[in-house]
């Protein structure tokens, strides 16, 4: 497993991170989730990403149990705060109250005294940024959080938070955006600002929720046992499951074959070519998916391959920097 430094910090993480959005506590049974975590550990993944809102807090609990007994110093555990986790008016957002209470609850579910990275899951325009950053800084000083990150923040929001972090003498070192061959909205503004401010990207959905594996075919219904065919989570994929997108994705297969890579490995390797990306988050419902995906670590794609990919995908790529995942 290759490693990279996260932002302008001393924290080293595995360039393939294991995430449990849409899987642990919902799509897969707990024994299958534990098997996937064991597979991740076996192949050298040390970085694990979750959030309090995943599966209504169940995902954190499953991950905590799956990692129980592992050497804590050998792991980097990341989680997030923002979305509602209860019915109260304060059970949401980035107020001091919600951040503090959510962090304490996450630590209990994860069975750890601290998290390596605590991330603001979205930007909260209803709360002064000073309140949010001061609450985060206090958690750092209490030893409950080592580093700070954000997720799906716009460039100007990242710059403002980074300035406050410097004033508070804490380290804001990462952004977690959606990023893939098909979704490149961070490239124009977020990546240049992050490089200037000392943040790296930890990217989610490098496989475009499985579309870039090539499992979905134009003119056909998604397989019943796939994410696209799932009654609940499949709805978030509708924008990708068009004949135009799926036809273009299918044309990537010869490129992957020539390189001796699976489609998934090609897609993950592609996001890792961006020098501002510290890690690509993979999810899995079966251990063999972990073993396949992790082989993208360390792969270098020649410039001509990147050009061919751009030519194949053409205008189905989303590049508009205004389209961060706010929903």
pLDDT in tens, 110-161: 999 999 999 999 999 999 999 999 999 999 999 999 999 999 999 999 999 9
Cα 201 versus chain centre, distance: 9
Q: Are 45 and 17 in contact (CB under 8 A)?
A: yes
The pLDDT confidence band at residue 284, using thresholds 50, 70 and 90, is confident
> Can you give the pLDDT at residue 118?
98
Burial call 152-169: b when 16+ CB within 10 Å, e when fewer: bbbbebbebbbebbeebe
CA distance 76 to 15: 12
Quick one: pLDDT at residue 326? 57
For residue 208, the model assigns a pLDDT of 94
Structural domains present in the chain: 3-210+263-300 (3.20.20.100)
Evaluate whether 247 touches 220 at the Cβ level (below 8 Å). no
> Of residues 18, 54, 82, 240, which has the active-site annotation?
54
Least trusted range by pLDDT, from 16-20, 21-25, 194-198, 232-236: 232-236
pLDDT of residue 305: 97
Q: How far apart are CA 70 and CA 66, in angstroms?
A: 9
- Pairing between β-strand 3-5 and β-strand 172-175 as defined by DSSP bridges: unpaired
Region 80-104: mean pLDDT is 95
d(CA 158, CA 96): 19
Alpha helices (H) in the chain, listed in sequence order: 30-42, 58-67, 96-110, 129-141, 155-168, 190-197, 243-250, 253-259, 263-272, 287-293, 303-313
Angle (CA) 242-122-53 rounded to 5° is: 85
- Greater model confidence, 270 or 86: 270
Tell me the mean pLDDT in the region 153-181.
Answer: 97
Q: Measured between alpha carbons, how far apart are the two ends of the chain, in Å?
A: 33
Residue 290 has pLDDT above 60, yes or no: yes
DSSP calls for 221-284 = PPPTTSSTT-TTGGGGGTTT-SHHHHHHHHTTHHHHHHHT--HHHHHHHHHHTSTTEEEEEE--
Q: What is the pLDDT, as a whole number, of residue 327? A: 44
Mean pLDDT of 190-216: 94
Active site annotation includes 18: no
Question: Which residues are registered as beta bridge partners of 279?
Answer: 202
Residue 324 region, left (φ>0) first, then alpha (ψ -120 to 50), else beta?
A: beta
Confidence of residue 223 (pLDDT cuts 50, 70, 90): low
Structure tokens at 190: 């977020």
pTM of the model: 0.91
The closest alpha carbon to 174, from 183, 165, 53, 182, belongs to 165
Residue 86: per-residue pLDDT: 87
Distance between CA atoms of residues 87 and 321, nearest Å: 33
- Comparing CA positions, the residue from 187, 122, 188 lying closest to residue 161 is 122
Query: Which of the two residues, 215 and 131, has the higher pLDDT score?
Result: 131
Report pLDDT for 245: 93
Q: Angle 263-235-287 (CA atoms, 0-180°, nearest 5)?
A: 40
Q: If DSSP codes are grouped into helix, strand and coil, which group holds residue 76? A: strand
Q: Please give the average per-residue pLDDT across 176-182, as a whole number.
A: 96
Residue 235's pLDDT is what?
52
Res. 188: pLDDT tops 60: yes
Q: Which one, of 130, 137, 126, 121, lies nearest residue 172 by Cα?
A: 137
């Amino acid at each position: 497993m290759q490693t990279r430094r996260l932002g302008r910090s001393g924290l080293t993480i595995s360039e393939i991170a294991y995430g449990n959005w849409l899987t642990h506590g919902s799509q897969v049974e707990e024994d299958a989730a534990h098997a996937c975590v064991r597979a991740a550990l076996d192949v050298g993944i040390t970085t694990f990403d979750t959030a309090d809102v995943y599966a209504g807090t169940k995902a954190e609990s499953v991950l905590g149990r799956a990692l129980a007994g592992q050497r804590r110093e050998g792991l980097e555990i990341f989680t997030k705060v923002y979305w509602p986790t209860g019915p109260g008016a304060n059970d949401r957002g980035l107020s001091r109250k919600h951040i503090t209470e959510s962090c304490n609850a996450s630590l209990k579910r994860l069975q750890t005294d601290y998290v390596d990275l605590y991330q603001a899951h979205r930007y909260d325009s209803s709360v002064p940024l000073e309140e949010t950053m001061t609450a985060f800084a206090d958690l750092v000083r209490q030893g409950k959080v080592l580093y700070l990150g954000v997720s799906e923040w716009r460039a100007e929001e990242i710059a403002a938070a980074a300035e406050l972090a410097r004033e508070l003498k804490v380290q804001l070192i990462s952004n977690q955006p959606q990023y893939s061959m098909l979704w490149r909205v961070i490239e124009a503004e977020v990546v240049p600002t992050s490089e200037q401010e000392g943040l790296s990207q930890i990217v989610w959905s490098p496989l475009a929720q499985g579309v870039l594996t090539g499992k979905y075919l134009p003119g056909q219904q998604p397989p019943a046992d796939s994410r696209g065919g799932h009654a609940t989570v499949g709805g978030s994929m509708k924008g990708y499951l068009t004949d135009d997108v799926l036809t273009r994705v299918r044309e990537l297969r010869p490129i992957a074959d020539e390189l001796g890579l699976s489609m998934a490995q090609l897609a993950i390797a592609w996001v890792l070519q961006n020098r501002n990306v510290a890690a690509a988050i993979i999810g899995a419902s079966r251990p063999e998916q972990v073993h396949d995906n992790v082989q993208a670590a360390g792969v270098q794609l020649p410039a001509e391959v990147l050009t061919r990919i751009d030519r194949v995908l053409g205008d189905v790529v989303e590049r508009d920097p205004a389209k961060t995942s706010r929903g």
